[in-house]
Amino acid sequence: MLLKKILFSGLLCLFLGILMVGDTGCANIIPPTGGPKDTLPPVLLAAAPRDSALQFTGKKITLNFNEYVQLENASENVIVSPLPTLNPSFDAKLRTITITIKDTLQPNTTYSINFGKAIKDINEGNVYKEFTYVFSTGTYLDDRTLSGTVTIAETGKTDSTMIAMLYQDGDDSAVVKKRPRYITRLDNRGHFTFRNLPSGTFYLYALKDESGTRRYTDPSQLFAFAGKPLTISANNEPVQLYAYVEKAEEPKKRGSGPAPIATGSREKKAEDKRLRYQTNLENGQHDILDTLRIQFATPLKTFDSTKLVFTDEKFQQISNYALVPDSLNQRFSLLYTWKLGTAYNLILGKELAEDSAGRKLVKIDTIDFKTKKQEDYGELRLRFPILDLSNHPVLQLIQSEKIVYTHVFTTKEFNVKIFRPGDYEIRILYDENGNGRWDAGEFFGKHKQPEKVLSIDKKFNVKANWGNDHTINLQPAENPPKAPVK
């Protein structure tokens, strides 16, 4: 009997041991996780004095949040309106932001403190965007608003780094000598909104304020102004501003193209005797939509055009062309009515040219090339069914932010049989004075607005050996929105 009890006890222990080993071997040990990533911005729990407080007389404001917060570039991000003479100081500690007012507050005035993108949580950097604290030293809050859009007149685009400004002083010099009463930022669409304004008459400007002075200090700044004073009331229409940079006088040109080619060692001294040049041919081909150019490394002392011979592929001389030098006698443009897919030759004689250092061509050079073929180009047709020809529209085709083609409209269609392939952006210049180019505005004393450009916010592609056909629907020029391309 004792033996049976011992055997039973042993089997029971073995069975329990197997169960324990089995459980241990099959279990997945999962370490505790930190939960989902925090993507929420801080939340304001309390403010002292409370937000939108009336009859404010204090010098300190505390803002308490639900998590630890930090302030980033408060001097750049925070906007206080009306603009104080002395900016308040800001301090972030744990969950609290403290604002210390250093300026003397004006009576019966509504103040707003917009933090922009300054407030972030410490752990993940989530931004509490455009949080605004408002208070009044009077018995009510001013609640007028004014909104609008700033468009860069020359390009039809926007610049979100600009600010909009309101002045109460209507003298032109105020924008130079004084800081504005109110400022606000532009968003990425060029829109702005002033809030908590009082009723009254204001003068509206916009500015690219890279110096942080809140004033117009340099004609190279982007600048815009409203055409008339604005009376702020309960219902204000949105305002459209057009920013421009004053056109400076162009310096006298000293030539263009590549810099002179210099040798840097005595071993290359022999090469200095050779007059160097280059052309704008690409892989032995000439684009007939461009001008064939010969660019010498240095300005020339002498140039004998009779030593340059222009021939066809059979070396038959061509005479009905023009060779036009630049002002430095360094770059020469060959003007000719080119034929597609045709071979030509340029023969440069040894005595063709000499620079001031006595460098000449060391031998007769022959440049053989062909013009591009018809199939290397595309046909382009653009239709503008709603185009108002009375606004003197000029078509601008853009590549890499540069105008590469212009066309003065006489009809609502543009059709070119031979056009260079590539991606293009369309702009329409409303050419008020009919000189074929964009003209900047003039503010001081004249209050002349810049000419306006409509940017069509979609690129189109011109394919080679293809009929490229597009229809563009425009809105009136007075307030041009983005226009879709079909």
CATH code of the domain in which 334 resides: 2.60.40.3710
Count of CA atoms in the C-beta half-sphere (13 A) of 412: 12
User: Which tokens belong to 283?
Assistant: 């892989």
Gap between the Cα atoms of 387 and 412, Å rounded? 6
Answer yes or no: do 220 and 179 share one domain.
yes
39 in a domain, yes or no? Answer: no
Label residue 104 by pLDDT band (50, 70, 90): very high
Cβ contact 230:201 at 8 Å: yes
User: Which tokens belong to 305?
Assistant: 């055009």
pLDDT of residue 434: 92
Q: The domain spanning residue 156 has which CATH number?
A: 2.60.40.1120
pLDDT of residue 254: 43
Sign of CA dihedral 80, 443, 242, 459: negative
The more confidently predicted of residues 263 and 37 is 37
Longest CA–CA span in the chain (Å) reads: 134
Answer yes or no: do 301 and 349 share one domain.
yes
Is residue 92 scored above 80 in pLDDT? yes
Answer yes or no: do 366 and 387 share one domain.
no
Cβ contact 203:168 at 8 Å: yes
Segment 118-139 shows an average pLDDT of 96
Computed over every residue of the chain, the mean pLDDT equals: 88
23 in a domain, yes or no? Answer: no
Label residue 13 by pLDDT band (50, 70, 90): low
Gap between the Cα atoms of 349 and 325, Å rounded? 17
Q: The domain spanning residue 433 has which CATH number?
A: 2.60.40
Cβ contact 119:42 at 8 Å: yes
Answer yes or no: do 120 and 206 share one domain.
no
Cβ contact 370:344 at 8 Å: yes
Share of the chain above pLDDT 90, in %: 79
Is residue 33 scored above 70 in pLDDT? no
Label residue 247 by pLDDT band (50, 70, 90): confident
C-alpha pair distances (Å), 165 with each of 158, 172, 233, 383: 16, 14, 17, 40
485 in a domain, yes or no? Answer: no
Q: Choose one of 78, 107, 136: the last residue of a domain.
A: 136
Report which DSSP code applies to 247.
P
Gap between the Cα atoms of 484 and 384, Å rounded? 11
What is the tens place of the pLDDT at every residue in 310-342?
999 999 999 999 999 999 999 999 999 999 999
Answer yes or no: do 361 and 395 share one domain.
no
pLDDT of residue 30: 52
pLDDT of residue 259: 39
pLDDT of residue 430: 95
- 3-state class (DSSP) for residue 3: helix
Cβ contact 192:463 at 8 Å: no
Give the angle subtended at the CA of 408 by the CAs of 402 and 413, to the nearest 5°.
105
Share of the chain above pLDDT 70, in %: 85
Label residue 39 by pLDDT band (50, 70, 90): confident
Contacts of 77 (CB under 8 A, 6+ apart): 115, 116, 117, 118
Taking alpha carbons only, the member of 166, 162, 218 closest to residue 197 is 166
419 in a domain, yes or no? Answer: yes
264 in a domain, yes or no? Answer: no
Answer yes or no: do 382 and 316 share one domain.
no
Domain count, the chain: 4
Answer yes or no: do 129 and 148 share one domain.
no
The more confidently predicted of residues 258 and 474 is 474
Label residue 21 by pLDDT band (50, 70, 90): very low
Gap between the Cα atoms of 127 and 117, Å rounded? 6
pLDDT of residue 48: 97
Answer yes or no: do 397 and 345 share one domain.
no
Answer yes or no: do 158 and 190 share one domain.
yes
Neighbours of 30 (CB within 10 A): 6
Cβ contact 281:367 at 8 Å: yes
Answer yes or no: do 367 and 390 share one domain.
no
Segment 208-232 shows an average pLDDT of 93
Label residue 35 by pLDDT band (50, 70, 90): low
Token pair 């056109």 in the structure block, residue: 247
Taking alpha carbons only, the member of 224, 189, 219, 188 closest to residue 203 is 224
Gap between the Cα atoms of 106 and 86, Å rounded? 13
Answer yes or no: do 277 and 319 share one domain.
yes
pLDDT of residue 346: 97
250 in a domain, yes or no? Answer: no
The more confidently predicted of residues 361 and 23 is 361
C-alpha pair distances (Å), 98 with each of 52, 81, 121, 347: 17, 18, 15, 79
Gap between the Cα atoms of 358 and 327, Å rounded? 20
Q: Choose one of 136, 153, 169: the last residue of a domain.
A: 136
Which bin fits 8, alpha (ψ -120 to 50), beta or left (φ > 0)? alpha
Segment 462-474 shows an average pLDDT of 92
Residues of the domain holding 278: 273-372
75 in a domain, yes or no? Answer: yes
Is residue 432 scored above 90 in pLDDT? yes
pLDDT of residue 38: 80
Gap between the Cα atoms of 137 and 194, Å rounded? 19
Answer yes or no: do 277 and 320 share one domain.
yes
CA trace torsion 251, 253, 259, 264 (10° rounding): -70
Gap between the Cα atoms of 214 and 222, Å rounded? 13
Q: Choose one of 342, 372, 402: the last residue of a domain.
A: 372
Cβ contact 350:357 at 8 Å: no
110 in a domain, yes or no? Answer: yes
Q: The domain spanning residue 69 has which CATH number?
A: 2.60.40.1220
The more confidently predicted of residues 217 and 19 is 217
Strands (E), 384-449: 393-399, 402-408, 413-419, 422-430
